[in-house]
Amino acid sequence: ILPGYAEEETKDHRFCVGVRRRGRDAASWVGADSIIHNGGHPNLLKALSDDFEVAEGIRKQIADTQAVGGIGFCFALDDDIPVRSSGVTMLPNLERVGGFVIPTFSDPSLAPEGKHLMITHQFVPDPSVKSEIGKGREDLYEAIPWLADHGEEICVHTYHRNWPCNRAPQGAELPMDIGVEGIRLVGDGVKGHGWMMVEGIAANLHQAVDEISAGMRA
């Protein structure tokens, strides 16, 4: 990301953004007056040229915040289950698993007719992922009494480091605005306290759009 004046074709815009298509070596330049970035704070800082000033305090806060690893279970459920919503169900008393969602109540195409898909979210306090998978599974069956009778485990997946999820711990309070006019961050890197999953990713989107729009009208 360069200042707009860096390239002739983008000189009438605030930003000059390099875009490289997969399989092609050369980048093309796209002009933009605002950027809403969902790739996380470290990736944004890497993309910004030295022409943009970011306060040292913000840089240190970003450097000191580590991405969070996670584990997700996917279960196939029958239709005889007590939960009848696609919203996030929190499991606040567990040490590892944060909650689950059953998206097939919003999009039935995600499972065969008469079945549902349940996806869980679990953070990883210990680097031994295999051990944490086992402990998380135990937590789930203890916390959800109907799961053993109505669910079948399909798969389990893990993610860590710079994967596009959980870019910052919940409540890390990384700023949406890093001090560069026209740029706002959204997504997993800026989830506030109490937010998780899809709701957490989208929580600050309206504010980001409103601030960007206000800046363009000024």
Task: Please name the fold of domain 70-159.
Answer: Polyamine Oxidase; Chain A, domain 2 (3.90.660)
17's torsion region: left (phi>0), alpha (psi -120 to 50) or beta?
Answer: beta
> Residue 44's pLDDT is what?
96
Give me the chain's average pLDDT, please: 90
CA nearest to 200, candidates 141, 121, 124, 112: 121
* Helix runs in 87-128, H state only: none
pLDDT (average), residues 65-85:
92
Q: Side chain identity at 83, as an amino acid letter?
A: V
d(C-alpha 82, C-alpha 64), whole Å: 42
> Residue 185's pLDDT is what?
94
- Whether residue 197 has pLDDT greater than 70: no
> Residue 124's pLDDT is what?
81
pTM of the shown model: 0.71
> Residue 63's pLDDT is what?
94
- Return the half-sphere exposure (C-beta side, CA atoms, 13 A cut-off) of residue 91: 20
- Whether residue 196 has pLDDT greater than 70: no
Domain extents in the chain: 2-65+167-217, 70-159
pLDDT in tens, 84-109: 999 889 998 888 898 999 999 999 99
Per the model's pLDDT, the better-predicted residue between 2 and 204 turns out to be: 2
Overall size of the chain counted in residues: 218
pLDDT band of 192, cuts 50, 70, 90: low
pLDDT (average), residues 8-20:
94
pLDDT in tens, 136-157: 999 999 999 999 999 999 999 9
Q: Which residue has the tokens 């990713």?
A: 201
